[in-house]
Amino acid sequence: MSILIDEDSRIVIQGAAGVEGRFHLKQMVEYGSHVVAGVDPMVKEDTIEGIPSYKTLKDAVENHSPDTSVIFVPAPFAFDALMAAINHRIKTIIVITEGVPVNDMLKIKQILKYKSGVHLIGPNCPGVISPGKSKAGIMPGHIHTSGKVGVISRSGTLTYQIVHTLSEAGIGQSTCLGIGGDPVLGSDFVDILKLFKEDSDTECVVLIGEIGGTAEEEAAQYIKKEFNKPVVSFVAGVTAPPEKRMGHAGAIISGGRGTAKEKIEILKASGAEVASIPDEIAEIVKSYV
Q: Is the pLDDT of residue 260 over 60?
A: yes
CATH 3.40.50.261, the chain: domain bounds: 139-289
Mean pLDDT, rounded, of the chain: 93
Whether domain 1-124 has CATH 3.40.50.720: yes
Report percent pLDDT > 90 for the chain.
Answer: 87
Relative orientation angle of helices 57-64 and 78-87, to the nearest 10 degrees: 30
Buried b (16+ CB within 10 A) or exposed e, 37-57: bbbbeebeeeebbebbbbeeb
Among the listed residues 75, 99, 76, 94, the one whose alpha carbon sits nearest the alpha carbon of residue 245: 99
Q: Residue 173's pLDDT is what? A: 98
Tens of pLDDT along 182-215?
999 999 999 999 999 999 999 999 999 998 889 9
Q: Residue 255's pLDDT is what? A: 45
Contact predicate 60/12, CB 8 Å: yes
Which of the residues 24, 119, 144, 248 is marked catalytic?
Answer: 248
Q: Residue 142's pLDDT is what? A: 97
Q: Is the pLDDT of residue 256 over 90?
A: no
Q: Residue 246's pLDDT is what? A: 52
Tens of pLDDT along 135-192?
999 999 999 999 999 999 998 899 999 999 999 999 999 999 999 999 999 999 999 9
DSSP state of 288: T
From the options 3.40.50.261, 3.40.50.300, 3.80.10.10, 2.160.10.10, give the CATH code of 139-289: 3.40.50.261
- Mean pLDDT computed over 23-40: 98
* CA–CA dist 108, 191 (Å, integer): 16
Question: Is 248 assigned a catalytic role?
Answer: yes
Taking the CB of residue 199, how many other CB atoms lie within 10 A of it?
A: 18
Q: Is the pLDDT of residue 251 over 80?
A: no
Q: Residue 1's pLDDT is what? A: 77
CATH 3.40.50.720, the chain: domain bounds: 1-124
Q: Residues 258, 185, 140, CA angle at the centre, nearest 5°?
A: 100
Q: Residue 268's pLDDT is what? A: 97
